[in-house]
Structure 1
Amino acid sequence: MERKWLKLGLVLSLLWLLALVGIGSSYRTVESSRLQVEELGYGIDSLRSSFIYDAPYRTKMVERQALDLQLIYALRLQIDAFYQKSWLMPDLNQLLFSTDRFIEQAQAYLDNELAVQKLANTIRQTRTQNTNSEALSNKYFQLSANVFEAMYLSEKANAEIFRHVDKIYQESTTLEPPQRQQLQKVLVDVSQVLSSYAQGSYLVDKLISHDVSNHISALEIDYRTLLHHHLIAAVGLTLLTMAGFLVLLFLAQSNPNSMSNIEIEESDPPVAKPVVSVTSSPKVVEAEPQINFDVMLSSLNGDVESVCMLLEVFVADHADDVNEITRLLTDSPEDAQRKAHSLKGVGGNLGAHKLREAAAKVEAAIQQDISQLSGLLDELNECLTIAIQEAKAFLKENHS
């Protein structure tokens, strides 16, 4: 294959490799993003599953829920940062927005739960500080009972609970200033906590039915489709590159630069083995140029040394072809036909069209009508003789 074809093949290989590396890099980026979104979905599902329990059980799971929410928030930040750096990715804006809403609602729920626990500790500590007053201690016990009832009784009981808290507030006005201020502060905390906690059931329902999981499921389909397109692109690119190599191979074979691909043996149908006597009068061929040296130089990019090398091979290997064909007609007609076919190919590569046509006629006559061989062999011999002379003259001129 000529050097320029090798260069083109190398360039094509490099382009294919670079494109394949680009597709592979994009595939890894998309796959990493898909795994992050999938992990976010697992975290959200894990947190949501804890909301299906009744309130007493959820209260014991607050710390674990808080850790799950921190993990979800960290994954959300990671996905956002990764998304901003990637150009080939499904649209994640809707997912990020829905995740933010889920985090806000979950945080509000946890704040309420934590506020209840903090309030319970505050009531207990304050009651402990006032054990010397049985009446005041009973009021703190009543507040604890009210908080407990507000958490676990139906919403219809809330009005009565708030009336009882208000009654305790009225009674606190009769206490000494230090005790009054301490109790009233606890009463304010109780009112605030119970007001916020009343929204707890609403928040739980919103979190369980939140649409963030729907967005994650839709994105998983988009990711799979995008990854599938990457694989199709890689396969298509490879097939296209293979087609390019085949085209280069075809172009290289149609412009040969050596005599190694001149003699191509073909599988021809068997022919009979007749005995031929070449005795007819020779057909006179006009002594006109046979080899087109301009065509040879053009096909070899003006490389005179390569032309000389081919001509030397031609003179050495084909000068006696007509005699060989004549001899083989009796012993092995198939070999004679192949010899004529080889000489036909040589004539084409040398640009010697007359020689090529004469060899083609002999090849066809051996297979179809041997009665015409006598004149055709004389014509072939004349063309070959002139071509050999021209080749020797060119060699002599360019070797001197």
Structure 2
Amino acid sequence: MVVDFGFGLSQLSGDESLLIMLLAKIKTEYSNCDNKLKEMFDNEQWEDAKTLIHTLKGVAGNLGCKQLYATSKQMEDELKLTLSCPNSFPIFVNVLNDTTALIQQAEKAGTVEIAFEKKLISDVTELVCILKQNIYISHDEIAKLLATIQYNDEKKQQLTLAIDTLNYALALELLNS
């Protein structure tokens, strides 16, 4: 799930207009973040890059931008280990673009309902994307995702076990079979 609007709404006592306003602020302040980070990496400004990533991670996490939070955390963790452009940077750029596009869509519509409607269409594709990026998925999130996917119970149990044990390669095989 790129943005969990339900979580964002729960953080703001259901105030949809406030959520859209805060998400629009993320879009405005961070839509060029990839270029800023690239420049910081090129100029070896590691502490500045860490600070920017850490701040974005916190904002994204608090408002339900799950994939942006996860990729920011992954980049932050990589920068703690080595002072070079993180391997996850290209994934981060894609997630940032997907997140800002979804925010723009909700902002234009004036509601997050359109995002909820589209969510059900992409659950299998979304799960594959998450697994390929090695993003952690909680047991509750797995259950929610699998509830909307038309697989038999045995396959759902196999998928749940594979994901719970972090065997994402097996989970991807099961999804492709």
TM-score bracket for this pair, using the shorter chain length: 0.5 to 0.7
Aligned with residue 340 of structure 1, among 53, 59, 79:
53
Matched, 1:316 2:28: yes
* Residue among 82, 91, 94 paired with 1:379: 91
Aligned match of 2:65 in 334, 352, 371? 352
Q: CA RMSD in A?
A: 1.7
Which of 361, 368, 391 aligns to 2:81? It is 368
Q: Counterpart of 2:97 in 1: which secondary structure?
A: helix
Note closer, same or farther for the CA distance 1:321–1:397 as it changes in structure 2 (3 Å cut): same
**More relative contact order, 1 or 2 (CA 8 Å, 6+ apart):** 2
Q: How many pairs does the alignment contain? A: 110
Query: Structure 1, residues 225-275: CA drift from partner, whole Å, max 9, x if none?
Result: xxxxxxxxxxxxxxxxxxxxxxxxxxxxxxxxxxxxxxxxxxxxxxxxxxx
1:397 deviates by 0.9
- What secondary structure does 1:301 align onto? coil
Distance 1:318 1:398 in 2: 20
Q: Secondary structure at the match of 2:48?
A: helix
Normalising by structure 1, we get a TM-score of 0.26
Contact 2:11–2:62 (CA under 8 A) maintained in structure 1: no
2:54 and 2:72 in contact (8 A); partners too: yes
Measure how far apart 1:330 and its partner are: 3.3
Shift of 1:329: 1.9
1:325 matches 2:21: no
Unpaired segments of 5 or more residues in structure 2?
A: 112-177
Secondary structure of the structure 2 residue equivalent to 1:290: coil
Q: Percent identity?
A: 25
Indicate if the aligned counterparts of 2:56 and 2:69 stay in contact, CA closer than 8 A: yes
Answer yes or no: is the 8 Å Cα contact 2:40–2:49 preserved in 1: yes
Q: Letter of the 1:344 partner, please give it.
A: K
Larger radius of gyration: 1
Offset at 1:352?
2.0
**Which amino acid in 1 is paired with 2:61?**
G
Alpha-carbon contact 2:2-2:66 (below 8 Å) kept: yes
Cα offsets for 1:97-147 (capped at 9, x unmatched): xxxxxxxxxxxxxxxxxxxxxxxxxxxxxxxxxxxxxxxxxxxxxxxxxxx
Q: CA deviation at 1:316?
A: 0.6
Matched letter for residue 295 of structure 1: F
CA distance in 1, matches of 2:92, 2:30: 12
TM (norm. structure 2) is 0.57
After TM superposition, give the deviation of residue 372 of structure 1 in Å.
Answer: 6.5
Contact 2:2 2:98 in 1 (8 A): yes
Distance 1:371 1:314 in 2: 26
Give the distance between the partners of 1:355 and 1:397, measured in 2 at CA: 22
Hey, which bits of structure 1, 4+ residues long, moved more than 3 A?
Answer: none
Q: Which one has the bigger helix percentage?
A: 1
- The one-letter code sitting in structure 1 at the alignment partner of 2:81 is Q
CA distance in 1, matches of 2:109, 2:79: 38
